[in-house]
Amino acid sequence: MPTLQDLRNDLQTFATLLERCERARVHGLPFDDLRNLARLYRVHAARLARLRERQDDPEAIRHLNALCVRAYSLLYAGGGADAGAHPSLWAQLPHVLARTWGAQAVAWMLLLVGLVVGGVLAWRDPEAIYAFVPASMGYSGDRLDALVASPAARAAFLAHGQRPASWNALFGSYLFTHNTRVGLLAFATGMLAGVPTVLLQLYNGILLGAFAAIFLHDPQPLPFLAWILPHAIPELTAITLCAAAGLLLGEAVAAPGRRGRRAALRDAINPALLLCGAAIPLLAVAALVESFVRESALDTRTRLLIAALMAVGLLGALLAVRRLARRYPVDTGWLRELSALGRSGSPGSGSAPRP
């Protein structure tokens, strides 16, 4: 038999959980708390029925009835007006970013592996640069020859010069279109078991590593870092998010598990689309920075400062997302099932709370 103190503790826990549940609109509580709320409701509904039979404590009956009415409206009425509301896709972004950290980590690892492989191969054999850097990027054989062989050509390539705003806008739109195409390709080809996505992400790293190897031969690499980092930080982050989205689709196709490929794809499509959608603003920022900052007369120190601000901003966004993800509404479909089970095992009609 529970003691009087146990009953008081349960009642206090019941009231506290109700307040938290109403404040979070039932979706924000952890699974264990919500399960405990359903259990406590059944216990106190039975206790309310016994108190009504004895009619020896009207104040306790009124207090307990009020608590049970509130719990009943949350558990059995679906949480009130917000029961049918579903968070928008963008409202789910913090949770998706936190939940898909594994795919993002793999995408970053592929990029870094490609970066190291491309850099090492190009460092040891300059001829490899011609195989890794395509002419379609605007670097013909003659231009690559000059960059590889001549420090003066590299210095001229990195020289700061002001461009007309109209030229910058046109260049930025081209960059945004090109980079978006690369990101969408990494995302869409994930349907082929993720293999093309892996190869594309590796190649992105190899291309970047080979190109960086040209300039890292110089004794002072800061001008090159100031040239590439301001736009590379948001651009690579965006492309990696798209690659992570492709990997989610690839996992659903290649390893769907017992639930089946169709169900796995249905579960993966929304997170994948959100990751890809989150990459679009970053691609826009990267295009603006590349066209208006890289193609400008800003000195090396200012460019490095912009790169540092980009890195700090992205790190701060990741930390904020991680914090928000802890408060993200969880799926409470199981709560309705639990409530149905509790209803079948709850006391008789005399135990139901009266509104």
Is the model more confident about 188 or about 126? 188
* Average pLDDT of the residues in 277-304: 92
pLDDT for 333 beyond 60: no
Beta strand residue intervals within 7-74, DSSP E: none
Q: From CA 279, how far away is CA 181, in angstroms rounded?
A: 12
pLDDT for 267 beyond 70: yes
Q: From CA 174, how far away is CA 176, in angstroms rounded?
A: 5
pLDDT digits (tens, 9 = 90+) for 143-184: 788 888 888 888 888 887 888 888 889 989 999 999 999 999
The pLDDT assigned to 91 comes to 67
Confidence of residue 322 (pLDDT cuts 50, 70, 90): low
Written as six digits, the tokens of 265 are 């794809």
pLDDT digits (tens, 9 = 90+) for 198-238: 999 999 999 999 999 999 888 888 999 999 999 999 999 99
Least trusted range by pLDDT, from 7-21, 294-308, 327-341:
327-341
Element (H, E) at 145: helix 141-149
Q: From CA 209, how far away is CA 123, in angstroms rounded?
A: 9
* Average pLDDT of the residues in 251-257: 89
pLDDT digits (tens, 9 = 90+) for 292-308: 998 888 889 999 999 99
Is the model more confident about 81 or about 219? 219
Share the mean pLDDT of the chain: 81
pLDDT for 80 beyond 50: no
Going by the DSSP 8-state scheme, the letter that residue 328 receives in this structure is: P
Q: Per residue in 316-332, is it b (16+ CB within 10 Å) or e — as a string?
A: eeeeebeeebeebbeeb
Is the model more confident about 313 or about 94? 313
Least trusted range by pLDDT, from 26-30, 69-73, 109-113, 344-348:
344-348
The pLDDT assigned to 83 comes to 41
pLDDT for 63 beyond 70: yes
Among candidate residues 170, 116, 139, the one with its CA nearest the CA of residue 290: 170
Confidence of residue 2 (pLDDT cuts 50, 70, 90): low
Taking CA atoms, 266 is separated from 168, 170, 185, in Å, by 41, 39, 20
Residues 6+ positions from 142 with CB-CB distance below 8 Å: none
pLDDT for 347 beyond 50: no
